[in-house]
């Protein structure tokens, strides 16, 4: 992992706003793994990310559908939830890899299969209390180093949103 960068979100709306602010930093073929306990804010983050990508599509948790696609002006966003997927074989059997090159891919509960990816951007959500979340950004591989630098410019250090 490269260096980490964190922000503090004090509401669901702040989590969405953070995601809106950084969505334009990502492009098709980017893999974003979202990690954190149930209720930590992963799906709210995806809602903001989709909004920040200029999409009017309605975002819902794909816990039971496994994957949802959202259209944007520039590309598709593939939102995957691996909560109910237990093995790497089950993950491979989904057949979603074919869409990775043409989509920005956000994967909830993807950390359990992180060894599958050579490079990825990791966003971890930690529940501090009922409203506050620490959102930590990190990456595996060099591909996303510039995004960490951009985040430092956007947020100017650990901040409370």
State pLDDT tens for residues 66-109. Answer: 999 999 987 899 999 999 999 999 999 999 999 999 999 999 99
Residue 160 lies in a domain: no
Which residue has tokens 């590309």?
Answer: 75
Count Cβ atoms below 10 Å from residue 27 Cβ, excluding itself: 10
- By residue range, what is the domain housing residue 33? 5-155
Residue 119 lies in a domain: yes
Distance, in Å, from the CA atom of 13 to the CA atom of 65, rounded to the nearest integer, reads: 25
- How far is Cα of residue 24 from the mean position of the Cα atoms in its chain? 13
- Give the total number of structural domains in the chain: 1
- CB distance 160 to 8 below 8 Å: yes
Residue 161 lies in a domain: no
- CB distance 47 to 30 below 8 Å: no
Distance, in Å, from the CA atom of 161 to the CA atom of 158, rounded to the nearest integer, reads: 10
Residue 111 lies in a domain: yes
Q: What is the pLDDT of residue 101?
A: 93
Q: What is the pLDDT of residue 58?
A: 84
The CATH number covering residue 119 comes to 3.40.50.300
């Amino acid at each position: 992992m490269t260096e980490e960068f964190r922000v503090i979100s004090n509401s669901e709306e702040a989590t969405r706003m953070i995601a809106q602010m950084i969505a334009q930093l990502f492009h098709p073929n980017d893999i974003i793994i979202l990690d954190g306990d149930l209720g930590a804010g992963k799906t709210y983050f995806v809602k903001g990310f989709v909004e920040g990508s200029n999409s009017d599509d309605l975002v819902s948790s794909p816990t039971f559908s496994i994957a949802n696609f959202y259209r944007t002006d520039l590309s598709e966003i593939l939102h995957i939830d691996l909560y109910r997927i237990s093995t790497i074989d089950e993950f491979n059997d989904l057949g979603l890899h074919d869409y990775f090159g043409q989509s920005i891919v956000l994967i909830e509960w993807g950390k359990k299969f992180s060894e599958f990816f050579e490079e990825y951007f990791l966003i971890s959500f930690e529940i501090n209390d009922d409203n506050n979340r620490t959102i930590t950004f990190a990456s595996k591989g060099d591909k996303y180093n510039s995004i960490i630098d951009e985040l430092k410019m956007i947020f100017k250090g650990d901040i409370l949103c």
